[in-house]
Amino acid sequence: MTILPIQIYGEPVLHDAAEPISEINDEVRQLVADMFETMDAAPGVGLAGPQVGVNKRLFVYAWDEPGLSVRDVAINPELWLAPIVPESIDEVDPDEETEGCLSFPGERFPLRRSQRVLMRATNLDGERYELEAEGWLARILQHENDHLDGVIYIDRLAGNDWRMAQKILRKRRWGVPGCSWLPGTDDLEG
Ligand code: ZN
């Protein structure tokens, strides 16, 4: 298995819609194994094809909480979201609603997401499966599925958070093609 370089905001593959996977072959199986290893090394709780430069509709995810442990791949996923509670009713809680992205490394921003999702996806055996998720797992699935549509959570920010993200893009010279980092090798905190 190989740890793959993770593309950073600005690399075109991150901002395009990804293509469906038509066949689960050795190439896909190898990619999934490498994506798990890359996600674990980062470390992260989800990693989508475009983040490792592959314009395909798949992501890996892993989540543990009391009573729930999941670790799987979602190939050609479809998501149904419960309605999002409008922010005007209830302010975003920075402790409970903050997320980060390995393609915008070292930063976190609060973002309102749907609290519940239903996902249908294909696993490596080619079988369609269903997963109902709440809370953090629901957030992970929405975040990763967004990647397959060329959307990074930064694009969903508004107001001061959006402006702060733009500042970071300029300061770190991201937002242009050609930036990536290698988990286990590169120091992200600098
Ligand atoms: Zn991400």
For residue 112, the one-letter residue type is R
Cα 48 to middle of ligand 1, angstroms: 7
Cα 90 to middle of ligand 1, angstroms: 25
Kindly state the percentage of the chain with pLDDT values over 70.
Answer: 95
Q: How many Å apart are CA 103 and CA 109, to the nearest integer?
A: 13
Burial class (CB in 10 A: 0-12, 13-18, 19+), 54: buried
Catalytic-labelled residue, pool 11, 97, 99, 144: 144
Confidence category of residue 93, pLDDT binned at 50, 70, 90: confident
Write out pLDDT tens, residues 26-77.
Answer: 999 999 999 999 999 999 999 999 999 999 999 999 999 999 999 999 999 9
pLDDT, residue 16, reads 98
Write out pLDDT tens, residues 166-183.
Answer: 999 999 999 999 999 999
pLDDT, residue 87, reads 58
133's CB contacts (< 8 A; 6+ apart) are 116, 117, 118, 119, 140, 141
For residue 24, the one-letter residue type is I
Question: Which domains are delineated in the chain?
Answer: 6-181 (3.90.45.10)
Cα 7 to middle of ligand 1, angstroms: 10
Mean pLDDT of the chain: 93
Confidence category of residue 81, pLDDT binned at 50, 70, 90: very high
Residue 106 has pLDDT above 90, yes or no: yes
pLDDT, residue 161, reads 93
Q: How many Å apart are CA 49 and CA 162, to the nearest integer?
A: 25
Judged by DSSP in three states, 187 sits in coil
Greater pLDDT, 95 or 106: 106
Residue 95 has pLDDT above 90, yes or no: no
Cα 114 to middle of ligand 1, angstroms: 16
Active-site annotation holds for 96: no
Question: E strands within the chain?
Answer: 6-7, 46-48, 58-65, 68-81, 98-101, 104-110, 116-122, 128-134, 180-181
